[in-house]
Amino acid sequence: MKTWHELRGFPLAIRLLLVNQFGVNTGFYLLIPYLAVHLGEDLGMSAAVVGIVLGVRNLSQQGLFLIGGSASDRLGARGVIIAGCALRTLGFGLFALGDGLAVLLAASVLSGLAGALFNPAVRAFLAQQAGSRQAEAFALFNVFATTGALVGPLLGSALLLVDFRVAALTAAALFAVLTVAQALVLPACEVAPAAGGVLADWREVLGNRVFLAFALAMVGMFTLQNQLYLLLPDGARRATGWDGAAGLVFLVGTLANLALQMRLTRVLKERGERARWIGAGLVLMGLAFVPPMVVAGLDAPPGGPGEAVLRALPVLAGALLLYLGVMIAQPFVMELIPAFGRAELTGTYFGLFYVVSGVAAAVGNTVVGWAMDTGSRMRTPWLPWACCLAFGLLSAAGVTWLHRLRGLPGRTTGEETDRPAPDEVPAATAPDGTTTAEATTAEATTAEATTAEATTAGPARATERG
């Protein structure tokens, strides 16, 4: 009821995009988790070819987020969102209709490019339209996304009993419906003419060293979130001896998300700085991997249902803690990103943030996979869980360090953000090559009109909201 009440308080366009995210995740998880099985077993492709097809899809999405974000800033988020959904409709349709490698590679590129377009554009649209309620909007976004990630695999497994092509066409039809709904409902937003080129925008964002430090500090969040699909399901299966135990991980998280997300965000928003809650959420995400260590070495099938339940409890407790950590941190992370720079570059900031997160998730999963293999070989099954604990604590330490330096944007109030004092902001490089400290000094020197002007000229250009 709380979630429904919050949803009704937003304009129709935002409500559509929240429901849209449920549909996007439902359609995505309806198909993609089963794509490797289809390519390998149904089409008889080698593991190497399957890896190429899946890798092309992932690279097309993660590598092009920055382009999608810039397109959102330059062309308007509405058109980019619609184009992204239309491209995914086409890509998923090709997965259903094509068996040749060339067609499958084209489908992978189109579906990956679609995600690169609408992911940063949707977040930029929410940030721009939600005003002072950004945290609530992104909290609801998390609720709908998590629910879609649960419904998608369940629907996909049912449709696969008929045929993979039925599942792919269903996913394509879902994206087609979303495309039409967006074209009918999303308002056209006027985009101010850009002063410079796209490369200048990229240089400005890449020159914001505080933002880059924050993005790198968030490596732990994305790495640990990915363990919902790797380490935790594997731990649940090993602890219980039942393949279906992996589904319980998502069920626990979805129920907790529906019940607690909005309550947590609303309470925490009024109590302390956002950075403090981001750090607390990251710590909780790291600690989530401690309970599963209790059953990490128990690989033998359990003796009965009662023992299976008992051995599953530590893993499910870890999953619950991980979801709670995400619920605490993620809405405030999304709220902070636009506050690092000019409003005209909101999409670009989101795009770069997701490029970094994609690389982080790939590297983090590689490390965790290595730890799983090494732990199994050296009889140290606790090793991958300890790696995840370290990821969470290190990320929390990074965010805390930036917060203590007062390098992060402060509390958001409407369209303005309380910014750190200029002499306490770590120097970032402006587009013209000067540091923010140099820019601040120059402004203070030339601002002779009033003392107030001299003292307010300080916030770095790299962290202006615009």
Q: By C-alpha distance, which of 19, 12, 157, 31 is closest to 89?
A: 31
pLDDT tens by residue, 240-251: 877 777 788 888
- Is pLDDT of 288 > 90? yes
Say how far apart CA 378 and CA 138 lie, in whole Å. 42
Greater pLDDT, 211 or 32: 211
Sign of the CA dihedral running 317, 223, 371, 48: positive
Q: By C-alpha distance, which of 362, 341, 330 is closest to 466?
A: 341
Q: By C-alpha distance, which of 217, 382, 374 is closest to 295?
A: 382
Hey, what's the torsion of the CAs at 434, 440, 446, 450, to 10 degrees?
170
Greater pLDDT, 62 or 69: 69
pLDDT tens by residue, 291-301: 998 777 765 55
Rounded to whole angstroms, what are the CA distances from 99 to 36, 38, 136, 165?
A: 13, 10, 44, 11
Q: Which of 133-137, 311-315, 368-372, 431-435 has the lowest mean pLDDT?
A: 431-435
- Is pLDDT of 456 > 70? no
pLDDT tens by residue, 78-109: 999 999 999 999 999 999 887 888 999 999 99
Say how far apart CA 132 and CA 123 lie, in whole Å. 15
Q: Per-residue confidence at 459, pLDDT binned at 50, 70, 90?
A: very low
pLDDT tens by residue, 166-177: 999 999 999 999
| Three-class SS state of 450 | coil
In this structure, are residues 143 and 261 in contact, taking their beta carbons and an 8 Å threshold? Answer: yes
Greater pLDDT, 461 or 320: 320
Reading the block at residue 464, the tokens are: 């202006």
Q: Are strands 412-413 and 416-417 parallel, antiparallel or unpaired?
A: antiparallel
Tally of CB atoms within 10 A around 415: 11
Tell me, what's the pLDDT at 126? Answer: 92
- 100, with CB counted inside 10 A (0-12, 13-18, 19+), is exposed
Greater pLDDT, 4 or 258: 258
Average pLDDT value for the chain: 82
pLDDT tens by residue, 45-60: 887 788 788 888 888 8
Stated pTM of the model: 0.80
- Is pLDDT of 348 > 90? yes
Question: What would the mean pLDDT of 31-52 be, rounded to a whole number?
Answer: 82
In this structure, are residues 4 and 259 in contact, taking their beta carbons and an 8 Å threshold? Answer: no
Tell me, what's the pLDDT at 336? Answer: 92
Q: Per-residue confidence at 211, pLDDT binned at 50, 70, 90?
A: very high
Tell me, what's the pLDDT at 394? Answer: 94
